[in-house]
Chain A
């Protein structure tokens, strides 16, 4: 679903991403861990086509992102760290608008079903987004992904700033999407959540993917040690 081949991005002398190779399959949840500036958001921006790669290529659903910019966006949904929707529109209206411009015409009942599936309480459906918490907005974002029937989900720090309950609910939603075959790439700092939801974990540093794991093969403690070692926080790791 998501493939990158030696994907690189340089800004002058600065390397933001270097030879990234990923292969995220249907139903996989791949978590990219790393400190700020590690290249996680650059990877997502490249997959969204927001920026052009300096070299290498990225594919979504077997289509080259930069040659089929519009077509690849039909298959993907994106939830940034701060999902900003239209505050003067309700959850239903935001969902209808974003799925509408993505080419999905949905009935009122379908909209409600998607919001419900995303875990939003029914009394919030008609409320304006301006009154929503971050967690509630993330749920609308998931509803947009569901409505769009996205095959690929790109998440940029989606759980940062969420309380543990909301974060947990978000994790469950990702699991639900996984069962539907959605390939998810999530950039995060949250090791615990990554261990909870991911099928695969990659640790990035200085624009390079330093380590990759299958999540079930390691414990949270091992993950933490691997992360701290990669980051060279040796005293903390020991």
Chain B
């Protein structure tokens, strides 16, 4: 039966204009979303390159200025900005801490709409005030991005539903089911084979679409395995939707009811469950108000500022390496400021930790219950593969905070030893290099396959009884 089903289902598919149209739509969606994603990545790369160029230009000017000062020439610049002052270098010539896009970043916008991809930590800046938020169009936030992940997570299931909702019911409604059922076959096996062929057909289209995407992106060869992983993920997700369509085809009789049931499941899995989980997460683990937090920080800073002399004394007691025996040297604003910054950081730590703790609890909550919706799992996995997941941006933020610390520490000996910054110190300035980590879980694809196979098994088990009672075969 299999070979004949395969051969003739393929013939029927090839002769169906509806299926041809769906296949073309799928190819166009993949192509357009990739183009869209690549366009965004280009813009992101350009922004980062522009930021680097700006730093290079500033550095060239700084070195020129330093050269002039070192040659004893007078320079027409404010005392605060002359780069012989380490604080001037640390504040007015920061490095770019950029998060370069990953090779597959085009396919999932993920958190990229919400977070910036480069910051310039300053020596006198606070880690918590580093602004990672991106200015984004509210309209875009409302409707989301038309990227490959959107096509895969949201639209592909709809195409699968259109492709498979009436495999059995159309036979019943056209009357050919009675003729089929009079053959020595099991209807559920026959439906499964038809579904299998349609799944195979769509897989071929997806593979073909991914080849086009691959051609458009022309990634390095080592990314081939990433593409294969992506293909595996899409196949597993498709299988889940085909399994649902299989169940609905067996359980419900009429095409219209099948379509409504499958669309209901789409709404539940793709829209409702993610939204409910998010809402529950917010209710169970509310994040403290950011405004309140900033207000508290400000009042703390104001208090600390009042006792800067005392703080500096304590700081110098803790750091004898910065003790000055030369009474001609002075302790000025930045000495007090930088000493108080450390204290502020320590004092604020519990508040920031509480904020991050709640955020982590929310994420853990979603992490546990995400298995209720394959759409969440697939979206998360695509974001992780693209390097645009929450974890990626959190990791980037941590790397930036760590770099900001190094940047600050680099200038401390200059400041407290009252040492001037010179041209020869320039090459030693710390540089930021983002090191991406892989957060992609190896379990996602096998578990999705297992869930789908479970659903197929359930369909088989239940339909055995129904077929025996004649429900499947009579019109």
Contacts and interface: CB of A to CB of B under 8 A. Distances in A.
A126 B180 CA distance: 21
Interface in A64-90: 70-71, 73-74, 76-78, 80, 82-86, 88-89
A101 B1 contact: yes
B174 A84 contact: yes
Interface string B14-27: 01100000000000
B327 to A, nearest CB: 100
Nearest to B182: A78
10 contacts: A49-B473, A51-B474, A52-B470, A70-B184, A74-B184, A78-B178, A93-B11, A96-B8, A101-B1, A102-B185
Contacts of A103: 1, 184
A50 B474 contact: yes
A100 interface: yes
Given A73-B182, A98-B183, A88 B469 contact: no
A80 B178 contact: yes
Contact of B8 (A49, A84, A97, A141): A97
A48 interface: yes
B5 to A, nearest CB: 7
Given A50-B474, A70-B184, A88-B12, A83 B4 contact: no
A93 B5 CA distance: 12
Interface of A: 45, 48-52, 70-71, 73-74, 76-78, 80, 82-86, 88-89, 93, 96-98, 100-103, 141, 154
Contacts of B176: 84-86
The residue among A50, A80, A82 with the most chain B CB atoms within 10 A of its own CB is A50
Q: Which 6 A-B pairs have the closest CB atoms?
A: A100-B4, A84-B175, A78-B182, A73-B184, A84-B176, A51-B470
Contact of A93 (B1, B8, B185, B469): B8
A154 B179 CA distance: 11
Given A45-B474, A77-B182, A98-B183, 10 more contacts: A49-B473, A50-B181, A51-B470, A52-B468, A71-B184, A80-B179, A84-B176, A100-B1, A100-B3, A101-B180
Interface in B248-305: none
Interface string B342-376: 00000000000000000000000000000000000
A106 to B, nearest CB: 11
B15 A88 contact: yes
A96 B179 contact: no
Interface of B: 1, 3-5, 8, 11-12, 15-16, 174-176, 178-186, 190, 468-470, 473-474
A132 B394 CA distance: 67
Contacts of B469: 52
A91 to B, nearest CB: 14
Nearest to A45: B474
B3 A48 contact: no
A51 B468 CA distance: 8
B16 A98 contact: no
B456 to A, nearest CB: 21
A111 to B, nearest CB: 13
Contacts of A78: 178-179, 182
Contact of A76 (B1, B182, B474): B182
Given A76-B182, A78-B179, A86 B12 contact: yes
Nearest to A100: B4
B4 A101 contact: yes
A83 B184 contact: no
Nearest to B181: A50
A96 B468 CA distance: 28
A141 B175 CA distance: 14
Contacts of B183: 73, 98, 101-102
A71 B183 CA distance: 10
A85 B174 CA distance: 9
Contacts of A83: 179
A77 B16 CA distance: 29
A73 to B, nearest CB: 4
B311 to A, nearest CB: 85
A48 B175 contact: no
Nearest to B467: A69
A70 B186 contact: yes
Contacts of B12: 86, 88-89
B184 A89 contact: no
A161 B298 CA distance: 90
Contacts of A102: 183-185
A74 B1 CA distance: 13
Contacts of A154: 182
